[in-house]
Amino acid sequence: MRFSLSATALVSGLAGLSLTSAHAVMDAVYVNGQPLGQGTALRVTKNNDLRVHYIASLESNDMACGRDGDEGVSRSAAIKGNDVLTFQWTSMKKKDNFPESHNGACSIMMKKVDDATTAKGSGDGWFRIFYEGYNKETKKWCTTRIMNGGMLSVRVPADLATGNYLVRSELLSLHNAHNNDPQFYVSCLQAVMTNGGTAVPKDTVALPSDEYAKKGTPSMKINLFWPPDNSLNYKDYGPPTYVASGPGGDGPVVEQTTGLRPTDAIFEEGNFHAFEIPTFTDAKECWAAHENCWEQSNDCYHAVLANNARCETWASKCKATGKICDKRGPFPGPVDAGKDMSPPLPKVDVPEPINDAGVTNSSVDNTESDEADESDEADEADETSSDSSPPSPSPASAPPPDEAGSDSEYGSGSDDSSDDKSGDETDSSSTTVDAEASSPSSSGVDGADKSLVTPAAESSCIEVVTETVTETATTTVRAQR
């Protein structure tokens, strides 16, 4: 019995494969090359099972800052106009970068808010400071920039008005867009711009909104694999990119008053803070302090994106206290009371910024000034110009984190996996994408041999070469998921 597969059907089927292990999350941000700390000031879902999943519904509020993105965290980063922000993406379990198969666009957006620690991400007011889709000169998608290290650096416009902002990093994977399944990966940094200018960009959009992204539109539905070079036909989406028109520095200097590390904290890991345990002068008080220490330790292991190895530093204090309690001295305690126990943050090399959002001579002016109104003539020019239970008190052992035995170096963020998973539900054309995308029925390859999907697909891209010989030509089609 002989079977035949059309080249386009084969390409479509294999391109639609989507493995859960290939998803990603933004886990860290660097300011001018200096690390904020893993998860610090980032809005990331508390549901560990969904953390690396894309936003399936373009109509969900999750489109703004991801799942749980309307809920603020305790910390905000201090930034200035013209600073370079580096966004780090990882698949978590492998501690690698954005998956190679997920070609698509990148976008960095900002939204001015009253207080970054409490403001909702969803709603209007979002403007773009960087965007790149398909580069026709290099013939590469923006996401390829972060497939070697997982980092994307962007310069903050120098003249933006000082104050609180949400900074949104977005990656749009289009590898399954031909199945009406554009995959958005988004997260937000909470920031306070302490020094800048007075500019307030006018070209803003609401998130979510059809104006920004809608399924079925040319930007959201494209086949990257067939016909060849179809990426050249990609239609960019979203508002024009804001470009600074001045050096900044003319705005009021703002002192950060929210999102700061608590002054009495002696340990910090991400958005988690630990505080000195109660003083003790006898064994009974010692065991009470020991219990307090382990309670805080447990909170560290469960903090969103917390690094388990760093939480061990705090756990060492609990173990040392337990030994003192067992030996009934020496009292009083705790030992080294008030000493900061936060391990130094690792420094890494970050890439150079890929935009020119600092000072520029661009004639495009799509801003409003806090100090003066623009003339009607300037407004007309703007419209026509655009820019594309505690552990038992024993010192012998520490209570293990829930993630023990996992191949992840991160804390779980939550031990409740029953959170609302509606964000993974899509319309009838893309429900349970990971399962359907690999099935012959959803890919248009009826009766295709499933042996084509080998175990190696879990760790590497799939390349299939199909050769069809006709009387006049031999056609070779290569498809890479």
Spatial separation of the C-alpha atoms in residues 125 and 433, rounded to whole Å: 31
Nearest Cα neighbor of 203 from 233, 243, 167, 230 is 243
Cα dist. 464→164, 165, 187 in Å?
Answer: 50, 46, 34
**Tens digits of residue pLDDT in 394-408:** 333 344 444 333 445
Other C-beta atoms lying within 10 Å of the C-beta of residue 200:
18
The C-alpha torsion from 147 through 151 and 156 to 157, rounded to 10°, is -20
- Residue 118, pLDDT > 90, answer yes
**Tens digits of residue pLDDT in 397-446:** 344 444 333 445 555 555 444 444 444 443 433 333 333 333 333 333 33
Q: What is the pLDDT of residue 412?
A: 58
Q: What is the pLDDT of residue 340?
A: 97
Spatial separation of the C-alpha atoms in residues 417 and 46, rounded to whole Å: 9
Spatial separation of the C-alpha atoms in residues 308 and 313, rounded to whole Å: 9
Q: What is the pLDDT of residue 334?
A: 95
The answer to whether 301 and 403 are in contact (CB under 8 A) is: yes
- Residue 14, pLDDT > 50, answer no
Residues paired with residue 78 on neighbouring β-strands, in sequence order: 192
Residues paired with residue 113 on neighbouring β-strands, in sequence order: 164
**Tens digits of residue pLDDT in 32-70:** 999 999 999 999 988 877 888 899 799 999 999 999 999
Spatial separation of the C-alpha atoms in residues 412 and 194, rounded to whole Å: 33
Residue 86 host element (H or E)? strand 84-90
Other C-beta atoms lying within 10 Å of the C-beta of residue 416:
11
Spatial separation of the C-alpha atoms in residues 73 and 225, rounded to whole Å: 40
Longest dimension (CA), the chain: 94
Spatial separation of the C-alpha atoms in residues 19 and 424, rounded to whole Å: 14
Q: What is the pLDDT of residue 94?
A: 52
